[in-house]
Amino acid sequence: MMKLPDIHIGKSLLSDTIYIGTLDSTKTIWVNKIDRTDEFIKAVIDRWCGCSQIVNDKRGNQYEIQVKEIKTNLQK
């Protein structure tokens, strides 16, 4: 039975597709994966739209995440 800690998220280097799934025992090869790019993007927009945040990764690098809506001529 799959446990939540066994589920990982990652980005394809070739296609920029966001996957969730399980990895092999070396944590380097997907065993099972599914494309969740649209859900990931929606979650990022829901979390950061209209604001920005400074975040640190595990190596100590800092990044600013910011999402803002851009109005197009199609939107009223």
Residue-range domain boundaries for the chain: 4-67
**Encoded tokens for 37:** 């790019």
pTM of the model: 0.76
pLDDT tens for residues 3-60?
888 999 999 999 999 999 999 999 999 999 999 999 999 999 999 988 899 999 999 9
Distance CA 16, CA 35 (A): 10
- Find the distance separating the first CA and the last CA of the chain, reported in whole Å: 49
Cβ-Cβ contacts under 8 Å for 69 (sequence gap 6 or more): 49, 50
Alpha helices in 1-76 (DSSP H): 37-48
